[in-house]
Chain A
């Protein structure tokens, strides 16, 4: 390490070259353990205990109702392209009915004591855990993500959000110094398809804890777990109208954010749509929180625990097929270890098991939709056209469904589209830096600002770097960790407001001394 801090760049280059070679021989030169090419036996999770209706209505005022639009559309399993069920397409009248139901339920819900609101939320958390396996399987079927993730991440975290916020419902006076917070009112929420249940939980739980009522629209391609959550609400005997779930496409979402009786809108999705929503609610005294896109920088320094960093980088970009707004999609490796690190990554990527999402051994499932697959393919083609070097793991991809092999671009420059645009898929772009200062400049060279990752063994450097990252979450020597107690959300064009923690709940209350929303 001390050697590379040499001020003479020529000498530095020489030294790092030598070091790289030596290290390369030592750690990658060792023979890889291979067990005769044995394959994993398939270990699919059963689906027989998950009863799925042929058709779902809208959940309004505590019951499933037929849409006034009379229209339904199919939701498919992205791993097989087979239709799973049909859900309703809510139109303006349906949206209005849902908002009216939420409005009607508001006085009773906000008047309820914090203790009682807490008990409903605790109940929901418990029931969700009791039915965890059912939710995990359904999520995997509808979304395409591996059962390993729905079972170990999505569902437990969703339950935690209800449990965590339950404990806030009777403690709102502790939320903000010197204030007695009040509920905002009726909240309209729009969530994306990448974490359908988790997003629903982390939007609904804080809203309810603070005494608001909710109209939520899940994504059109992954509505089933949010609809099943309504069964949990019913089991918990949550008062009618406190949560209303309406399904539909972008038009439904537009009708929702334009509804005059909303007091707050919370949106998670793309930056483009987020800007449209900010415009749509402008001047209406509607509170707004936006959790938008990202293009996270993931920095690896030469002194980092490289093998751990490889795991972190893999988790950062291939978790959930890379359909993660905070994915570590821009890997910045210190020049001295670039070649070695890339080789390690390639070896690791070759071991990622892509396939049947229901198989408990599967690491990476299906791309969520044909449309998303097309977008990924388009951007990867742009990367190739612009001269970056593409590496793709040799994965045997199933014939049916939407699939994309774990991919990595090296030789990426700051101006390449794959370094600037959110791909939202399993595609890593790799470039290099020499000094911490350069790393900061490159990491912040984006209009996004959701997350960042840092791998180095130097504590002081971590804090120095982390304080310079223009990003709302900074993972240090780890990546893609989430918790209900931990605020999540972005800087700059990645949006505003936080979700999780005290700061997240803050976005669901009104403070007496507060300024007016834009």
Chain B
């Protein structure tokens, strides 16, 4: 048997796989031999610039197309099953848990893929106003949304937070699990093979303590979705540009229950309602 070919775990920014500009790496617990890029503030800023571009492409594509791309993401997860399970196991999952998590990830992705072209009808409306006016409300993405994913589950945690945002037409900059970043970073490889437009989904690895506050502070991020209990400090920093902020504090059982992770109500906080008025006249 020949010497195994190892993989360098890099960031996923603007559809490319850069190393951290800082040149730093870290070794997640229990994996002293694996060097994972340790994203910096500058990497975050680069990712936001990429996400701003990705937002235009992603929100500008037809909902049908976005649905197909997310479905393709599920196909790619399925076809790379062995590789993804390996990444999950590297993060400490048992074989059974890794398989279950991948099943959940695929099921979740398919559910959200099919929601893309329904969400407008479900959250928008035509409004019966007084007077000769045609009045309707549509939804639009809030913009670039920062995600701080949970440590576990490493794959489903990232997807469960990113997918509702993508369904709303937002672009995402996500900080993946710090403890088990491998599968989160591999998700970038899956996205790149799924025609997810460059910049629509950006994945960073690094230290949550170092980066979460920067996500909250940055004025070119429009919203923040954080795994964990509400954190006053993050919200206070986010208020500087009136970011939309939500926290997702689930039990382990809920994170492992795919039913609990499929929610239109997770899409809604990160879309904006736009109401149009026009007179009606002969």
Q: Does B249 contact A (CB under 8 A)?
A: yes
A283 near B275 with CB under 8 A, answer no
Main secondary structure, interface of B, reads mixed
Interfacial chain A residues near B224, Cβ < 8 Å? 518
Smallest Cβ distance from A446 to chain B, in angstroms? Answer: 13
Cβ proximity bits B232-262 to A, threshold 8 Å, 1 near / 0 not: 1111101111101111110000000000100
Interfacial chain A residues near B133, Cβ < 8 Å? 478, 481
Interfacial chain B residues near A377, Cβ < 8 Å? none
Q: Does A383 contact B (CB under 8 A)?
A: no
Q: Does A236 contact B (CB under 8 A)?
A: no
Docked Cα-Cα span, A485 to B131, in Å, equals: 12
- Most chain A beta carbons < 10 A, residue from B137, B263, B265: B265
Interfacial chain B residues near A517, Cβ < 8 Å? 230, 245-247
B265 near A476 with CB under 8 A, answer no
Q: Does A6 contact B (CB under 8 A)?
A: no
Q: Look across to chain B and name the residue whose beta carbon is closest to the beta carbon of A466.
A: B276
Smallest Cβ distance from A2 to chain B, in angstroms? Answer: 24
The count of chain B contact residues (Cβ–Cβ below 8 Å) is: 51
B264 near A178 with CB under 8 A, answer yes
Q: Look across to chain B and name the residue whose beta carbon is closest to the beta carbon of A481.
A: B277
Docked Cα-Cα span, A472 to B271, in Å, equals: 11
Q: Does A493 contact B (CB under 8 A)?
A: yes
**Which single member of B235, B236, B265, B276 contacts A511 (CB below 8 Å)?**
B265
A501 near B127 with CB under 8 A, answer yes
Q: Does A12 contact B (CB under 8 A)?
A: no
Docked Cα-Cα span, A475 to B135, in Å, equals: 9
Q: Does A492 contact B (CB under 8 A)?
A: yes
**Which single member of B238, B269, B272 contacts A491 (CB below 8 Å)?**
B272
Cβ proximity bits A251-282 to B, threshold 8 Å, 1 near / 0 not: 00000000000000000000100111011001
Docked Cα-Cα span, A279 to B274, in Å, equals: 26
Docked Cα-Cα span, A495 to B130, in Å, equals: 26
B240 near A462 with CB under 8 A, answer no
Interfacial residues of chain A within 472-518, with CB under 8 A of chain B in the complex: 472-478, 481, 483, 485-489, 491-496, 498, 501-503, 506, 511, 513-518
Given A477-B278, A501-B127, A511-B265, residue A487 in contact with residue B242 (CB < 8 A): no
A290 near B273 with CB under 8 A, answer no
- Would you mind naming 17 contact pairs between A and B with Cβ atoms under 8 Å apart? A176-B265, A282-B230, A462-B278, A473-B277, A478-B279, A481-B277, A483-B130, A487-B275, A493-B242, A496-B244, A501-B275, A503-B125, A515-B225, A516-B247, A518-B244, A518-B246, A518-B247
Apart from A517-B230, A518-B244, list 19 A-B contacts with CB within 8 A.
A176-B265, A177-B122, A285-B230, A473-B274, A476-B278, A478-B133, A481-B133, A481-B277, A486-B129, A486-B275, A492-B241, A493-B242, A494-B242, A495-B242, A502-B125, A511-B265, A514-B269, A515-B247, A516-B249
Identify the 3 closest CB pairs spanning chains A and B, nearest first: A283-B232, A518-B245, A282-B235
Q: Using CB atoms and an 8 Å cutoff, list the residues of chain B in contact with chain A.
A: 122-123, 125, 127-131, 133, 135, 137-138, 140, 142, 222, 224-225, 229-236, 238-242, 244-249, 260, 263-266, 268-269, 272-279
